[in-house]
Amino acid sequence: MRIFLFLIFVAFGELQAQTSLITDIPSRQSISLNGKWQYIVDPYETGFYDYRYKEKNESDKEAYWNSDVPQRKSDRIEFGYNDKYTLMAPGDWNHQDPKFLYYEGSVWYKKSFDMPRREPSRRVFLYFGAVNYRADVYLNGRKLGMHQGGFTPFNFEIPDTLLKDKGNYLVVRVNNKRGTDEVPTVNTDWWNYGGITRDVKLVLVPRTFIRDYFLGLKKPGAGEAPKTNNAEVEGWIRLDGMDHEDAVVEIPELKIKRKFPVSGNEVSLQLTLPSVQLWSPESPKLYKVIITCDGDRIEDMIGFRTIEAYGKRVLLNGKPVFMRGICIHEEMAQQMRRAYSKQDAMQLLGWAKGLGCNMVRLAHYPHDETMTRLADSLGVLVWSEIPVYWTIDFGNSEVFEKAKRQLTEMIERDRDRCSVITWSVGNETPVNPVRTDFMRRLIEQARMLDPSRMITAALEVNYGSGKEQHMVDDPLGQYVDLVAFNEYLGWYGGLPSACATANWGTIYDKPLFISETGAEALGGYHADSLTRWSEEYQEWYYREQVKMLDRMPDNFTGVSPWILTDFRSPKRNNPVYQEGWNNKGLIDHLGRKKKAYNVLKEYYKKKQHIDGAH
């Protein structure tokens, strides 16, 4: 029996016919629907709602998901798709035409395609890497379903009777309006890029196929290093379909080939590897893993490692690791667009590696899968986060379900990425009991989905006065593994010289991590160090910060300054020094390194030498 995940939201008055997420899309047979899509801009929602502002009937000829070709010369159709108006997907609409710069609303995308002849035994799914923010998806005039959330993947199974050999037309209503009951909410400090921002594919799988799987080192005792000889590996396979044969797992390099029985739609995996090289930033070893079952075959490159918060340290493979990090937005500053490709990921992670980083915080939402897969191969530790940001509606049960779904989709997609060492459930959320309970439940969900990694969030700080110690005592700290906090001492409070007498601590006996710190500088603007917005002020800020970091308590495990590159933000409106940019980047929007870049690079070089290989 096929398994479907049906998510019902009564408030929307509709059923989301979204099928359970298929993972490891790169290894599956697929047909790309990337490229030019025709579009209609629809700020008044004319194609979706009738004149009473209710969703149109599926058969309504004036609904924009239906054919725009008149059947008779007397037909009245007040919309149409043609090549005069096209957008590239993947890609945000904001950078593709000046009229879209600040546009927030609905855009209808249409893609026509033929379906190559396929074996009758194959099922077809429509897969989206991400659409910001709401996607209503129609094929040949029939609604497949709806998805909300701008940074996580989703898919729909296409009924056999709906696909045609010739002349299929796929229509997607994309709406990026911000809302008080959405995740993120209306108030963010980044650009609200709209559109089909990641890959679109038709995925072809057997009638019974491998939908999801996980394979990783079995955790040894707390604080212990995993064995490299006769290493124990465990995991599972989840199947979609019926009439299962045994599943087979192969790791050719290690001469492993084992059969496992299927129970229902699940396979439990336990393997002993005779000898394994552990994955780390210094040695990012990946093994080809082949899984076959019922005629389905997938391949993945998987690294084996353990990660845990133990006492006051973060242990990678049982050894303390100091995280030399940097925050990154999913943005190509030079082109003022959303990043999405492997080439984009190479630039961003390459810059981070050049800075001396062994870790990145992917802020403030899950980035494209190319980032985490490339991080696997480059040996970069990853903090991955959902956009529970600032002041969402923590008392709203529907908002919680939206956040929970995005968390689930993030974890399901990247559960086998060894580079991801911590899931984050949010950033700078205000301290109150309702919020803390909201976040605690997200942490419980993350632990249930993936007990193999750390869980964290960027917590709030109780700032002291004068020379008093600044304490991280956010009540959410009792539930996380890594106590992380953002601090901007010398930018949002006082001058950088205040760092000289500042001390930091936490009431929790856990590893401590600075998840943000930084100051703005307009690239190329030079003055004395007291002049705000100058590269010299930012340089001074970082010099004082790194001296302060050398006095951090013994549970200090790393820092990820804000941020690698300048990024677009409508909140930043100084007409001289910002003009719609948050300029806290160590690299400006033209790709030039600012003076502070070298300060942090030297600090990381010193930390790498003192702390050894890690």
Same domain membership, residue 279 and residue 224? yes
Query: For residue 602, what pLDDT is reported?
Result: 98
At which of 176, 206, 236 does a domain end?
Answer: 206
Instruction: Please state the rounded mean pLDDT for residues 192-207.
Output: 97
At which of 162, 179, 206 does a domain end?
Answer: 206
Kindly state the percentage of the chain with pLDDT values over 90: 87
Q: Return the CATH number at 223.
A: 2.60.40.10
The sign of the torsion formed by the CA atoms of 453, 457, 458, 461 equals: negative
Query: For residue 461, what pLDDT is reported?
Result: 87
Same domain membership, residue 541 and residue 422? yes
Distances (CA, A) of 88 to 36, 37, 65, 198, 329: 5, 6, 19, 10, 21
| pLDDT(551) > 80 | yes
233 CB contacts (<8 Å, ≥6 apart)? 215, 216, 217, 218, 269, 270, 271, 272, 273, 304
Contact 20, 3 (CB under 8 A): yes
Q: Which domain holds residue 395?
A: 309-611
Quickly count: other Cβ atoms within 10 Å of residue 280's Cβ: 20
Same domain membership, residue 153 and residue 44? yes
Question: How many domains does the chain divide into?
Answer: 3
Quickly count: other Cβ atoms within 10 Å of residue 52's Cβ: 5
Same domain membership, residue 347 and residue 295? no
pTM of the predicted model as reported, rounded to 2 decimal places: 0.94
Query: For residue 395, what pLDDT is reported?
Result: 97
> Is the bond preceding residue 31 a cis peptide, omega within 30 degrees?
no
**Structure confidence by residue, pLDDT tens digits, 172-188:** 999 999 999 999 999 99
Q: Give the confidence band of 12 by pLDDT, cuts at 50, 70, 90.
A: very low
DSSP state of 159: P
Same domain membership, residue 353 and residue 462? yes
Q: Which long-range contacts (CB under 8 A, 24 or more apart) does 598-603 make?
A: 599/539, 599/542, 599/543, 599/546, 600/355, 600/356, 600/542, 600/546, 600/561, 601/355, 601/356, 603/546, 603/549
| pLDDT(190) > 90 | yes
**Structure confidence by residue, pLDDT tens digits, 422-462:** 999 999 999 999 999 999 999 999 999 999 999 999 999 88
**Structure confidence by residue, pLDDT tens digits, 392-426:** 999 999 999 999 999 999 999 999 999 999 999 99
Query: For residue 465, what pLDDT is reported?
Result: 55
| pLDDT(612) > 80 | no
Same domain membership, residue 366 and residue 247? no
| pLDDT(191) > 50 | yes
Query: For residue 119, what pLDDT is reported?
Result: 78
Same domain membership, residue 117 and residue 89? yes
The least confident of 13-22, 341-350, 401-410, 466-475 is 13-22
60 CB contacts (<8 Å, ≥6 apart)? 50, 66
Based on C-alpha coordinates, what's the Rg of the chain?
Answer: 25
Residue 226 is which amino acid? P
- Is 1 a member of any domain? no
Same domain membership, residue 293 and residue 201? no
Instruction: Please state the rounded mean pLDDT for residues 118-146.
Output: 94
- Is 2 a member of any domain? no
Q: What's the token pair of residue 381? A: 């530790």
At which of 254, 280, 303 does a domain end?
Answer: 303
